[in-house]
Amino acid sequence: MAKKNKTNEQTPLNLSPKEITRVLSDALPFMQRYAGETVVVKYGGHAMGDETLSRQFASDIVQLKLSGINPIVVHGGGPQIGAMLDRLNIKSEFKDGLRVTCEKTIEVVEMVLSGSINKKVVSNIQRAGGRGIGISGKDGNLVIASKLQRTQKDPQSNIESAIELGFVGEPAHVNPELLETILASDAIPVIAPVAISVDGDTYNVNADTFAGAIAEAMKAKRLLLLTDVKGVLDKQGALIPEMSLEDISSLIEDGTISGGMIPKIESCASVVKGGVEGVIILDGRQSHAVLLELFTPHGIGTRIS
């Protein structure tokens, strides 16, 4: 297990002994539920750019490891990639919500994701007393990708045509041996969503999709998707705490689930069908979101199961 770092900055808990006892008592059954299980956490959104939230996230991940849980972190980095492309005067273009990735762009994507972002997450985990191991999908052939194929329909002719996205891929196969080796130690894998094809090409993979493929391959008990929204909201703006696969179609039909949330929910459903017990969409801007979701009776996000 990770050793406690005595130099860590800890937020003081202004709780009485009775309150601390209650908190620990409430959390213990959930710690036992997840002990020995794998939890994949997709880390992204504005929480990555907030130093306090970044450190709290790292602390949460280390706490999972200390509790006997096997956390795997998959991180995004869209805003950071965009900022670097702007600095290098490389024009960004989006089609169907995905960044068109040319040869110059994929070099920047890999540099930012596998470099600065990945190592920052690793550093925060180690500052919190854990051992982070930073890798990408290319290491050890962890994730073999194929070129993502998308089409669009002309509204006038109703004819579908292919969308050229360049080096944008989707997971075709996951080789879990490397992650199994890391998890068997006291280390925490931190993965950049960059993958390699059978021909040796580098592909940029959507972090949610990448995390889902990892969760399925590792037979994870939970996949947590940290976002910039509370979860799925009903028409009155209240959080929907749980939904089944059967609920999804009706919620899309009546407009409760709309826009960019539709592909995210459909992706969650695919992961659940692939064997993951539950996928949770939750607000990464909430302090200690990971611990609150896993170690409290009702969680804080929307669970698809």
pLDDT in tens, 152-167: 666 666 667 777 889 9
* pLDDT tens digits for range 3-42: 444 444 444 456 566 665 566 666 666 677 788 999 999 9
Structure tokens at 163: 């969308």
User: Quick one: CA dihedral 35, 41, 47, 50, positive or negative?
Assistant: positive
User: Quick one: CA dihedral 188, 191, 196, 202, positive or negative?
Assistant: negative
Q: Which of the pair, 206 or 27, is modelled with greater confidence?
A: 206
Per-residue pLDDT for 224 more than 70? Answer: yes
- Kindly report the pTM of this predicted structure: 0.87
| 119 band by pLDDT with thresholds 50, 70 and 90 | very high
Structure tokens at 293: 């979701």
Q: Which of the pair, 23 or 109, is modelled with greater confidence?
A: 109
Lowest mean per-residue pLDDT among 55-59, 150-154, 184-188: 150-154
Residue 4's pLDDT is what? Answer: 45
Percent of the chain with pLDDT over 90: 61
* pLDDT tens digits for range 58-88: 999 999 999 999 999 999 998 899 999 999 9
SS3 annotation, the chain: CCCCCCCCCCCCCCCCHHHHHHHHHHHHHHHHHHCCCEEEEEECHHHHHCHHHHHHHHHHHHHHHHCCCEEEEEECCHHHHHHHHHHCCCCCCEECCEECECHHHHHHHHHHHHHHHHHHHHHHHHHCCCCEEEEECCHHHCEEEEECCEEEECCCCCCEEEECCECEEEEEEECCHHHHHHHHCCCEEEEECEEECCCCCEEEECHHHHHHHHHHHCCCCEEEEEECCCCCECCCCCECCEECHHHHHHHHHCCCCCCCHHHHHHHHHHHHHCCCCEEEEEECCCCCHHHHHHHCCCCCCEEEC
Q: Per-residue pLDDT averaged across 201-208, rounded?
A: 94
CB neighbours of 251 closer than 8 A, spacing ≥ 6? Answer: 232, 240, 243, 257
Q: Alpha-carbon dihedral of residues 177, 179, 183, 185, nearest 10 degrees?
A: 70
Q: By C-alpha distance, which of 269, 263, 223 is closest to 98? A: 263
67, 186 Cβ separation under 8 angstroms:
no
Fold of domain 31-298: Carbamate kinase (3.40.1160)
61, 130 Cβ separation under 8 angstroms:
yes
Q: By C-alpha distance, which of 221, 208, 193, 224 is closest to 266? A: 208
- Residue 237 backbone class (left: φ over 0; alpha: ψ -120 to 50; beta: rest): left
Q: By C-alpha distance, which of 293, 291, 290, 295 is closest to 242? A: 293
38, 293 Cβ separation under 8 angstroms:
no
Per-residue pLDDT for 141 more than 90? Answer: yes
290, 42 Cβ separation under 8 angstroms:
no
Residue 17's pLDDT is what? Answer: 61
Residue 50's pLDDT is what? Answer: 87
Per-residue pLDDT for 133 more than 80? Answer: yes
* pLDDT tens digits for range 246-260: 899 889 988 899 887
Length of the chain counted residue by residue: 305
